[in-house]
Chains A and B, each alone.
Chain A
């Protein structure tokens, strides 16, 4: 019994310590904003591997999600004779919810896990420690560019996801199912507000980008430097960031659309 309580206390303390050290870590990597000349090439390299290389999966998923939304929406709305509202439905659900959330989930799987594994392996092969030995701050050199790259990429990817998804929805709705194109767009434009819908979606994407990359780089930096430790850290990245994104999405939605 005593052992159980002691274990509970130890567990809580270690969780609290992890939270604290990740907070300190976050602060350091934000402060280490890439400076021009030395930092920008590093940032661009990371933007390429985190953002540009994620484009394919984002575009393909966006296209298919938009198409599926349009199909499903049509089959339900046609029962009420209001199939012109498909455009409105596809655009609102993509812009408000699906594109930030799905992009963040895909991003955690595609880029977040890679970040964790890369930093984790650097730690396991003692590259980070040797950097510190020769007087280079690994936070500034390795972690900060990756953090900023993820933070910048996710909102851009999310916007691209929305646009491609809406285009996919139009492809199915207008060209295939024969909804009149004019009412498809007119309904969409009448119901989507810039401030309420588009901007809130972007704010969500920014928040998710922050959380997902934070978790990814911290898990890599904090992992146990063995092959098993890296694999655990990578799994944790995907699990934690997916849960964090979904939970945060509920909170943000309640704040933005819940009339609180």
Chain B
């Protein structure tokens, strides 16, 4: 009888551990249990990719459609080349789409927002997005503002 309560107690303890792990995984870290989605790669060159990191979100109209795979320097253009993995199901990005580095909230993380153009042709694996808009750097912004003030 004593042994049974022991076993019950230990069993409940182990179960509590497993439940805690599941809560941590699903509720706290928001890990989706689905397999990594198939994706295709699109590149974009930015004058300034400041604040963008690997695994940053790529979104369109606020909906997540992919993530940043890598950020390197393009040696020919001498710009930041951002490699984006776009989910396979997203096949409606036109060739003249534009990519902008945006900020979520005032102090939030940087993400890439893509807006679609009107071209007939769609972006395929390995294509470049030509129309890009760089990250907003506060110092540059203030610099421009002061410059305008002086011109007035």
Binding site for B on A (CB under 8 A): 41, 44-45, 47-48, 51-52, 55, 80, 82, 91, 95, 153, 155-156, 159-160, 162-163, 166, 185, 188-190, 192-194, 197-198, 202
Contacts and interface: CB of A to CB of B under 8 A. Distances in A.
A97 to B, nearest CB: 15
B9 A198 contact: no
Contact of A189 (B10, B29, B109): B29
For the complex, would chain B's binding face be called helix, strand, loop or mixed by DSSP majority?
helix
A189 B23 contact: no
Contacts of B27: 185, 189
Given A47-B13, A52-B13, A163-B23, A198 B6 contact: no
Interface string B1-40: 0010011011011101101110111011111000000000
A190 B30 contact: yes
For the complex, would chain A's binding face be called helix, strand, loop or mixed by DSSP majority?
helix
Contact of A159 (B20, B106, B107): B20
B17 A192 contact: no
A82 B24 contact: no
Contact of B31 (A45, A95, A160, A194): A194
B24 A198 contact: yes
Interface string B65-107: 0000000000000000000000000000000000000000111
Contacts of A155: 17
A163 B17 CA distance: 10
A48 B6 contact: yes
A54 to B, nearest CB: 9
A52 B30 contact: no
A52 B6 CA distance: 9
Interface string B97-128: 00000000111010000000000000000000
Contact of A156 (B7, B9, B13): B13
B10 A48 contact: yes
